[in-house]
Amino acid sequence: MWQSRDELFRRAILFIPSHIKIRFMNQYFLLIACLQLWPLITPVNPASTWGPLIFIFAVSATKEAWDDYNRYLSDKKANEKEVWVVRHGIKKHIQAQDIRVGNIVWLRENEEVPCDLVLIGTSDPQGLCYVETAALDGETDLKTRVLPSACMGIDFELLHKMKGVIECPIPDKDIRRFDANLRLFPPFIDNDLCPLTIKNTILQSCYLRNTEWVCGVSVYTGNETKLGMSRGVPEPKLTAVDAMIDKLTGAIFVFQIVVVIVLGIAGNVWKDTEAVKQWYVLYPKEGPWYELLVIPLRFELLCSIMIPISIKVSLDLVKSLYAKFIDWDNQMIDQETGTPSHATNTAISEDLGQVEYILTDKTGTLTENIMIFRRCCISGIFYGNESGDALKDVELLNAVSSGSPDVIRFVTVMAICNTVIPVKSQTGSISYKAQSQDEDALVQAAARLHMAFFNKNANILEINFNASIIQYEVLDTLEFTSDRKRMSVVVKDCRNGKIFLLSKGADEAIIPYAYAGQQTRTFTEAVEQYSQLGLRTLCLAWRELKEDEYREWSLMFKEANSTLVDREWRLAEVCQRLEHDLEILGVTAIEDRLQDGVPETIETLRKAGINFWMLTGDKQNTAIQIALSCNFISPDLRTKGPAFVNQWQNRRRSWQKFRQGLAYNEDNNFRTKGDVAFVIDGWALEIALTHYRKAFTDLAILSRTALCCRVTPSQKAQVTDGNYDNDVYDFIGGNNFLQLVEILKSCDYRTLAIGDGGNDVRMIQQADIGVGISGREGLQAARAADYSIGKFRFLKRLILVHGRYSYNRTAFLAQYSFYKSLLICFIQIFVSGTSLFNSVSLMAYNVFYTSIPVLVSVLDKDLSEKTVMQHPQILFYCQAGRLLNPSTFAGWFGRSLFHAIVVFVISIHAYAYEKSEMEEVSMVALSGCIWLQAFVVTLETNSFTVLQHLAIWGNLAAFYIINWAFSAVPASGLYTIMFRLCTQPSYWITMFLIVATGMGPVLAIKYFRYTYRPSKINTLQQAERLGGPILSLGNIEPQSRSIEKDVSPLSITLPKNRSPVYEPLLSDSPNSTRKSFGSATTFDFFPSQSRLSSNYTRNCKDN
């Protein structure tokens, strides 16, 4: 995309400040580094902070700079590409960045479109061209674009001489809409107004395919193209682990301030009372005004290393490795298409292990998006009920052969009421280019019923019916919109000149518009019967139009089609004038089969305590059948929820349904019975989110499954910014879906949204984690998502394996980073007012000695992948934040304080005598810290590899090699220190005492917990080591939750303290700070007495 020099200059100027202000820790360390430049207060060389700080900024900034540079090269290549344009009637070559609005641009096959163009010419005699829009919307199918009617038939030689005016709206990012008008000047057309739509345009970044050449008029260029307007940087997502680290950092900062204030006051008091009595303390009698700040600031600099400066780089590095593990996972490659999994966002892998709610699309996500025509009902007669395939029903085939009028009209509507383009191959076979899988299924079915749509020449459609050619002229197309839920065509039968309106759409958009007196009960029953089978239904209808009626309506349609203001609304109003008094012909039933492994995946994830919300455009019965087949709900489960609320005036009825649902849940104590699901209609959902949001939140949060069917179609356009799904009959209400995501996030649940189409993009970006499926609807969702997978079944491995391992490893790395910093800081504090360690040692300690061993924790696995997949319930430990919370952090804090006391006391008593130098004491203490941390990492590692042993013990050996090298340099300040220490038996005895004293109590506590209070993970680990089956856990299927008798009744308004539910103890500490409400159940292997206290709640923000 073209960028101005001013834009590039602005990005360069703001590059460094933007990286400094990202996180609180960056600002904190920058302040500390600046304070260390004041010689009066700094106890260490400023290089000890500036070195790591510059390194951290350099790593982060270099990565971003490299990305910006690659974008610059890409933009430069696109900007300097040469194209043919016509200026002032002269055709010449210019660079793409020099294209101006109004230029006529010529393109050849396979060339990229440099700007947004309105077509005025094409090599195709029918005025068609084909474009690949994958770079724009991710959809892989070729799109058909057509010349405006005013440009049809203009000779090739005259195209560069064309003159006219295009009235178009201001630039916007809606790639599905373009409401404009074209007016050509004589001698072409005498100022006749021609309406333009998105089908008359080709947009920037598309590629011209299967068309020799096209030419068009540029209407938007540079940053004003639709691609330029829609391109933006999504807001970074903060994981639960990152949020907890920020909170812990804040707590450490507060602790640090308290320590600094206490020590600062004590230091100033000692200076004023005791220091003056000492002859060697040369304080002036009168100091400057800032004298009282010197001692506190000195302690602040000493305590600054409490917050680890290397944690950001360490976390960024391991998270990048987590993402690569996902990319390299051969078990997540779709063998059918060869599509691998891919992690676009490298910063949120650990959130996968804490997912509690999954919000999913249905079509293309849970299903294959391969539509197959199965059954139909024509004039009250059902076909395909016995065989399950109407195309093999002998009765239907005989009706077609005998020319039954009702059946012929039904099949005719199937064949021509669409926007399908037939394409004839060199072998003579016919294939179809359809923008909807439903339309493709209907046209294919009509062809098998001997009504083959084989050619489209301009507005003439040719049908081959029993070897005879039937021609229809398309007069007007009433395109599908999500509000109307139907599409229609007005055609003229070329045999007799009669005009017909052919319509198809959802049952509620067709059946109510039947002519007075037609019996529609059979069709309604057919829709219900097919929906019970989980089939997608469409109703077909037609009516004959009088010529005068059509002529009058056509004038209104043309006027509405040429307006620039509210064109869509005015077109809908005009269409309504024609689409009435329809003769209902019948109902079609289309099957969209589930993907392989979907039921098993959902069942496993539900065992892991993950709840599901599904939105679908299907009817309520269809949604329930799909939910049953997917294992969203069990077959014997009673679903309770609002019934259809088809009119806004049914708001009171919707409220009554909510009260009934809440009362049922309360009366039946549903939380002790297991699964609970509710089904809600689109209109009821709209009412709930608008007027009864808190009551709906109560009902939704306390249910394991939510099925939202027929979700408000009118909200889709404004939610997805015009980018709706290709499946024109999947009425997804994206705005409602976004509100559902917000409800869950407001209650601190980790949400994952998964989809495959363009209408899912906003939902994917709004959720904590977005997963896109590379499906038949293209790559738009996959490109916008944090993670992309080939099939839904890979979601199980993505969460249970990659997510869980990532969370466990990140939790250990984060707390270990604080531990090592607190350890060295406490030793500094014990020395009182000065630094025991020199600047080089501190820098090496933070960046090298203690970082390399822990980085190999990315290979650690507490359990094998097989065990994790067999026992998904253990994901509860991650959902509950068992490994990273204030309780576990307190343990690491206490360990660092204890180890600091051990190192300080033993080192001082062993070497604090007259002949010892300060550098010797410093090196002994530093050696003790390195030895302790080697054993800490070893103790916390669950699975060892050669690389891990090499990192832990090789790093320990490297510590001695490096310091031996420095000891050989006279100017290093450590001259001969390490040589002397290593030759003294007392040094090695001191190291042994430090390790034995420091690790002894830690080992004892760990042994006690593992032996007498083992967690279920410990039990699984023991079973793996013994190599036998797990017998002691028994049945690990979920059992029902319990609730205290003194819990207040469920309120219609959402309380801030939401959950009084007792749940399994998911932490070794009884005060675990976070829990999962995800599962409606506990396991057998969680003892009933080990439950969270009833005062533990999750706070929901007011919605």
Query: Which residues, 6+ apart, have CB-to-CB distance to 628 below 8 Å?
Result: 635
- Hey, what amino acid is at 1097? T
Please name the residue that has the structure tokens 């749940």: 1063
Residue 457: phi and psi, rounded to 5, are -120, 105
Cα within 13 Å of Cα(939), Cβ side: 19
CA distance 254 to 259: 9
CA distance 245 to 1093: 25
Give the count of beta carbons closer than 10 Å to the beta carbon of residue 455: 17
Please measure the distance between the N-terminal and C-terminal CA atoms of the chain and give it in whole angstroms. Answer: 39
Is residue 749 within 8 A of residue 307, CB to CB? The reply is no
**361 is an active site residue:** yes
Please name the residue that has the structure tokens 């011209």: 208
Q: What are the distances in angstroms from CA 765 to CA 362, 443, 755?
A: 18, 35, 11
Q: Give 888: exposed, middle or buried? Use CB within 10 Å, 0-12, 13-18, 19+.
A: buried
CA distance 450 to 466: 6
Cα 806–Cα 809–Cα 811 angle in degrees, nearest 5:
105
The H or E element containing residue 163 is none
DSSP class of residue 904 equals: H
**Size of the chain, expressed as the number of residues it contains:** 1103
Q: What are the distances in angstroms from CA 291 to CA 35, 263, 295, 449, 834?
A: 15, 15, 8, 97, 17
Is residue 1083 within 8 A of residue 707, CB to CB? The reply is no
If phi > 0 it is left, if psi is from -120 to 50 it is alpha, else beta; for residue 958 that is alpha
The H helix count followed by the E strand count for the chain is 37, 33
Sign of the C-alpha dihedral, residues 993, 995, 1001, 1003?
Answer: negative
Task: Give the closest residue to 701 by CA, choosing from 1045, 1041, 356.
Answer: 356
Q: Tokens in use for 177?
A: 């809409």
Task: Give the closest residue to 568 by CA, choosing from 299, 28, 198, 177.
Answer: 177
CA distance 85 to 470: 43
Considering the candidates 351, 361, 507, 730, report the single residue annotated as catalytic.
361
Residue 485: phi and psi, rounded to 5, are 60, 25
Task: Give the closest residue to 478 by CA, choosing from 386, 412, 570.
Answer: 570
Catalytic residues, by residue number, are 361
